[in-house]
Amino acid sequence: MNELELKYGCNPNQKPAKVFVASGELPFEVLNGRPGYINLLDALNGWQLVREMRKATNLPAAASFKHVSPAGAAVGEPLDDILKKIYFAEGLELSAQATAYVRARGADRMSSYGDFAILSDECDEPTANFIRREVSDGIIAPSYSPKALEILKAKRKGSYLVIKMNPDYAPPAIETKQVFGVTFEQKHNDIEISAACLEDVPTKNKTFTPEAVRDLLIALITLKYTQSNSVCYAKGGQAIGIGAGQQSRVHCTRLAGNKADYWYLRQCPKVLELPFQKNIKRPDRDNAIDVYLGGETFDDSWQNLFTVKPVPLTLDDKISWLENLRGVSLASDAFFPFGDNIERAHKSGVEFIAQTGGSIRDDNVIETCDKYNIAMAFTHIRLFHH
């Protein structure tokens, strides 16, 4: 099949809508449900991301996509008990592929609500069982075990979108798209992200731990498929804060840094011990935690979620807890123009950075890194994505 009719385009009024290839067959097969325009944008961008992450790390990879940018991306590194708790994965059987998706989904659960799940490897039963419990629009993977496919086909009253991707598909070297009747053409961005990107280190600290190399590769590959401007904080084999589509790079750094801070604050004892009622829905719990971390006061409408009124999380509590956040890696899809980005990154525990380099203020950026003993590499690669 070389053409597929879609429900509609970006919006319901944009009909008719379809996808097609000029020659050959579409590289995917719809096993269940009916895709929309944005579903396939998420699926095809996300597939490229996890395929490259799998190759770079030799670990199963996953991403959680929303509106053509990843809300989270990760590889299948084991979870400790605290992460299992904040990701709602306690007591579950988790394969390496399931763990990758649990990490990707869990990094920013608010943004991942209603996501498109992207898997690098076969979707197995543990992964399908986790997805079954979550609010999600669809999934793409290279294959599905019979039991996993049965589980997913039953989701959303049988309408859950399940797509099988041809893992051997290679796109044409030249890609095109239209905007307002004008056709754009460019070479497909086939640049490879590898450890060789981290060899030019202009800072005094030139040491990248193996974990930092892994996390920087994850962050850079994530940015390759994130709407620009973008930056990504990573730790433990996953993105922990992604700032996408901002016009100012320092706003990307702040946005993503705030998400990384929230990720770590969710591991704070006061948050872990919030007195939730039993059997409340996970989205309600996610919303309540976000309000709590934001310092807002719970009014009477929230009290049905708790057994007793929560003890406030003060600014001093937050500062004290965030002082423990260390070993974070940060990547940028283009150069940092000023040292203010480094100042903000340092507040979120960043010790390793990869960025393009080439700003007229590189000296200021390097000086600020040296001030905090941060190791920074110039990749000499720009990763704009639109």
- 345 within 8 A of 253, measured Cβ to Cβ: yes
Tokens representing 144 are 């599905």
Q: Of 165, 180, 210, which one is at a domain's C-terminal end?
A: 165
- Whether residue 277 is found in the same domain as residue 249: no
- Whether residue 127 is found in the same domain as residue 247: no
**358-377 tens-digit pLDDT:** 989 999 999 999 999 999 99
**146-162 tens-digit pLDDT:** 999 999 999 999 999 99
Position 302 scores a pLDDT of 78
Inside any domain, residue 186: no
Inside any domain, residue 184: no
Inside any domain, residue 179: no
- Whether residue 222 is found in the same domain as residue 146: no
- Whether residue 241 is found in the same domain as residue 155: no
The torsion angles phi and psi of 268, rounded to 5 degrees, stand at -70, 140
- Whether residue 9 is found in the same domain as residue 123: yes
- Whether residue 114 is found in the same domain as residue 61: yes
Which of 32, 39, 229, 341 does the annotation list as catalytic?
Answer: 229
- 222 within 8 A of 231, measured Cβ to Cβ: no
Which of 67, 318, 347, 385 does the annotation list as catalytic?
Answer: 67
Inside any domain, residue 383: no
Distance CA 214, CA 56 (A): 8
Active site residue 386: yes
Task: Tell whether the model's pLDDT for residue 252 goes beyond 80.
Answer: yes
- Whether residue 276 is found in the same domain as residue 254: no
- The count of structural domains within the chain is 3
Which of 32, 39, 66, 155 does the annotation list as catalytic?
Answer: 66
Task: Tell whether the model's pLDDT for residue 301 goes beyond 80.
Answer: no
Task: Tell whether the model's pLDDT for residue 308 goes beyond 90.
Answer: no
**327-351 tens-digit pLDDT:** 999 999 999 998 999 999 999 999 9
- Whether residue 299 is found in the same domain as residue 360: no
The torsion angles phi and psi of 153, rounded to 5 degrees, stand at -65, -20
Active site residue 58: no
Task: Tell whether the model's pLDDT for residue 357 goes beyond 80.
Answer: yes
**9-30 tens-digit pLDDT:** 999 999 999 999 988 999 999 9
| First and final C-alpha spacing in the chain | 28
Active site residue 385: no
Confidence (pTM): 0.95
- Whether residue 109 is found in the same domain as residue 127: yes
Q: Provide the domain limits for residue 340.
A: 191-265+322-378
- Whether residue 83 is found in the same domain as residue 149: yes
Active site residue 66: yes
Cα–Cα distance list, 185 to 21, 92, 176, 246, 376 (Å): 15, 47, 4, 24, 34
- Whether residue 93 is found in the same domain as residue 198: no
User: Which stretches does DSSP call E strand in the chain?
Assistant: 3-5, 18-20, 28-32, 61-66, 69-75, 115-119, 136-141, 161-165, 174-179, 182-187, 230-235, 238-244, 328-332, 350-355, 375-378
**191-249 tens-digit pLDDT:** 999 999 999 999 999 999 999 999 999 999 999 999 999 999 999 999 999 999 999 99
Inside any domain, residue 128: yes
- Whether residue 133 is found in the same domain as residue 235: no
Question: Average pLDDT, stretch 272-276?
Answer: 92
Confidence label for 309 from pLDDT (cuts 50, 70 and 90) = confident
DSSP category for residue 192: P
Q: Which CATH number characterizes residue 8's domain?
A: 3.40.140.20
Q: Of 107, 131, 165, which one is at a domain's C-terminal end?
A: 165
Which of 13, 278, 304, 386 does the annotation list as catalytic?
Answer: 386
Question: Average pLDDT, stretch 312-333?
Answer: 95
Inside any domain, residue 97: yes
Confidence label for 96 from pLDDT (cuts 50, 70 and 90) = very high
